[in-house]
Amino acid sequence: MSRWLFEWHALMSAIQFLTRIPVPGGMHQPGADMAILQHSIIYYPLVGGLLALLTGMVYGLACLVWIPPVAALLALAFEAFTTGGFHEDAVADSCDAFGGGWTRDDILRILKDSRVGSYGALGLILAITLRASLISSLVVTPEELLLVVALVASSGAIGRWTILVMRTLYPLVSGRDGLSKDIAGDVRPGMFLAGTLWLLPTLIFVFTVTLATAADQWEVITISVKLAAAVSLSAICGWLWGRYAVQKIGGLTGDVLGCGCYLGQIMTLMVLTASIPR
Write out pLDDT tens, residues 146-203.
888 999 999 999 999 999 999 988 988 876 555 555 454 567 778 899 999 999 999 9
Q: How far apart are the first and last CA of the chain?
A: 55
Q: Mean of the per-residue pLDDT values for the chain?
A: 85
Q: Looking at residue 59, what is its pLDDT?
A: 92
Q: Looking at residue 278, what is its pLDDT?
A: 42
As a whole number, mean pLDDT of residues 227-243 equals 94
Q: Which residues of 80-110 are buried (b: 16+ CB within 10 A; e: fewer)?
A: bebbeebbbbbbbbbbbbbeebeeeeebbeb
User: Angle CA(102)–CA(107)–CA(108) in degrees, nearest 5?
Assistant: 150
As a whole number, mean pLDDT of residues 3-27 equals 82
Q: Looking at residue 132, what is its pLDDT?
A: 93
The predicted-structure confidence for 88-108, as pLDDT tens digits, reads as follows 888 888 888 888 777 887 788
CA-based nearest residue to 148, from 225, 203, 209: 209
Q: Looking at residue 86, what is its pLDDT?
A: 80
Q: What is the pTM of this model?
A: 0.88
Which letter does DSSP use for residue 32 in this model? -
Neighbours of 196 (CB within 10 A): 16
The predicted-structure confidence for 212-230, as pLDDT tens digits, reads as follows 887 778 888 888 899 999 9
Q: Angle of helix 68-83 relative to helix 44-63, nearest 10 degrees? A: 140
Helices in 34-144 by DSSP H: which ranges? 34-39, 44-63, 68-83, 86-100, 104-112, 118-136
CA-based nearest residue to 161, from 260, 90, 244: 260
